[in-house]
Amino acid sequence: MHIVLTGLGLSLLAGVIIAAQAPIYTRISDGLGSPLQTTLLAFSTAVCMLVVLMVVTRTDWPRWEAMRALPVWVWIGGVLGICVVLLSIAAVPRLGIAGYIAAMICGQLAASLAFDRWGFFGLAERGVGWQGALGAALIAAGAAMVVFRP
């Protein structure tokens, strides 16, 4: 039970952070005038912070051999991060933060159910079942209510 509560707390914190990122990126883009400049600033800041964290925690640098042994498809992860920043900059002014997050969660759940069902990215295959389908439908209904509110 403790593991579940810890995981839930960490997940809630991640949700708060993601909700904060979207308006921050939008504000940076307004100030710089370019979503690409904003994304470069965000990722440059992240790289600098990661270097500091690795030095402070005395974490070893990744070994080239280990990185070369990874499947080719894992390298798309960074590209997907760029897409998330650019999409948030485009969507937040149109939907607001709540609408963006609701729609994003709906997309995340739909994709994650498919990933689980077919074992994408090396995951074990897991059935969706009526509970998963109903949960996704309820999330989609909730997202529609948030996006299309008066």
Give the pLDDT score at 75.
Answer: 92
Give the pLDDT score at 103.
Answer: 95
Q: Which residue has the tokens 């100030």?
A: 31
Tell if the pTM clears 0.75, that is, is over it: yes
**Integer Cα distance of 140 and 134 in angstroms:** 10
Give the pLDDT score at 86.
Answer: 96
Residues of the chain with pLDDT under 70: none
**Integer Cα distance of 106 and 73 in angstroms:** 24
**Integer Cα distance of 44 and 66 in angstroms:** 24
Give the pLDDT score at 98.
Answer: 93
Distances in whole angstroms, Cα of residue 35 to Cα of each of 7, 26, 27, 44, 126: 33, 8, 10, 14, 37
